[in-house]
């Protein structure tokens, strides 16, 4: 785990984090440098892909990293840069599709599981908690894995709802208020500072590194 940095570049190799129960693989794809993540249960070998954003051939390789093709693909939100490869990957892997209920109809394929805040998703013998984060899109979701091993931390996949330095882009002040409120009450108020989060673009961070800036984000309005 100490070798993982979360720094990836389009065209470059993936970065791999190995936890006792879950392998996390991060890859950057496409013209907007989207992050895609493979989560593979160590015990069962079952895998899930988060955000089939672009470059379907590279994501097909990611979907087979150290195991069979993923059984499911989770889309964090409905913006098109996060699902350009979704149809191709669903056909290639025969994977089920998960998305937030309010965003599901915007995707280019049928959604098998319409998720809401408080739902869970199993990846083999591991469980992801679904957290609704409204504002960047109406049905934006994050996925949380709580590592149960001694000294394990929480791992949070935030899509475009939370980045190092602020929340995701919003269209109106009301959307910004909704998103920052959900991020504060559902993430920062509930999870510890060592929670590592993995955004939809760019570098990772921890909640502890970002927590001192919440008031600043509120004051600036973005």
Tell me what the pLDDT averaged over the chain comes to.
97
Helix (H) or strand (E) holding 146: strand 141-146
Alpha-carbon distance 145 to 166, whole Å? 22
Give the confidence band of 1 by pLDDT, cuts at 50, 70, 90.
very low
| Positive or negative: CA dihedral 166, 205, 89, 45 | negative
Judged against a pLDDT cut of 60, whether residue 213 lies above it is answered with: yes
What mean pLDDT do residues 81-107 have? Answer: 97
Euclidean distance between the first and final Cα of the chain, in Å?
33
What mean pLDDT do residues 103-119 have? Answer: 98
Give the confidence band of 130 by pLDDT, cuts at 50, 70, 90.
very high
- Residue 136: exposure state from Cβ atoms within 10 A (0-12, 13-18, ≥19): buried
Alpha-carbon distance 74 to 98, whole Å? 5
pLDDT of residue 12: 97
pLDDT of residue 208: 98
pLDDT of residue 2: 59
pLDDT of residue 50: 98
pLDDT digits (tens, 9 = 90+) for 155-182: 999 999 999 999 999 999 999 999 999 9
Q: Is the pTM of this model over 0.75?
A: yes
pLDDT digits (tens, 9 = 90+) for 5-29: 999 999 999 999 999 999 999 999 9
What mean pLDDT do residues 32-49 have? Answer: 98
CA-closest candidate to residue 36, choices 86, 88, 100? 86
pLDDT of residue 201: 98
> Up-side HSE of residue 131: CA atoms within 13 Å toward CB?
25
3-state SS of 97-139? EEEEHHHHHHCCCCCCEEECCCCEEEECCEEEEEEECCCCCCC
């Amino acid at each position: 785990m100490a070798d993982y940095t979360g720094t990836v570049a389009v065209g470059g190799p993936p970065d791999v984090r190995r936890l006792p129960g879950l392998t996390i693989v991060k890859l950057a794809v496409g013209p907007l440098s989207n992050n895609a993540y493979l989560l593979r249960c160590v015990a069962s070998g079952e895998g899930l892909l988060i955000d089939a954003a672009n470059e379907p051939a590279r994501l097909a390789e990611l979907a087979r990293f150290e195991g069979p093709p993923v059984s499911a693909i989770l889309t964090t939100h409905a913006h098109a840069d996060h699902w350009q490869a979704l149809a191709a990957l669903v056909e290639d892997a025969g994977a089920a599709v998960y998305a937030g209920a309010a965003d599901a109809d915007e995707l280019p394929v049928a959604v098998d599981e319409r998720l809401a805040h408080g739902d869970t998703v199993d990846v083999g013998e591991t469980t992801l908690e679904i957290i609704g984060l409204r504002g960047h899109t109406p049905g934006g979701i994050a996925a949380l894995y709580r590592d149960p091993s001694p000294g394990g931390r929480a791992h949070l996949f935030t899509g475009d709802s939370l980045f190092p330095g602020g929340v995701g882009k919003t269209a109106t002040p009301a959307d910004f208020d909704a998103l920052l409120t959900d991020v504060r009450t559902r993430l920062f108020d509930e999870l510890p500072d060592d929670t590592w989060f993995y955004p939809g673009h760019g570098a990772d961070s921890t909640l502890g590194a970002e927590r001192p800036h919440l008031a600043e984000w509120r004051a600036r309005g973005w």
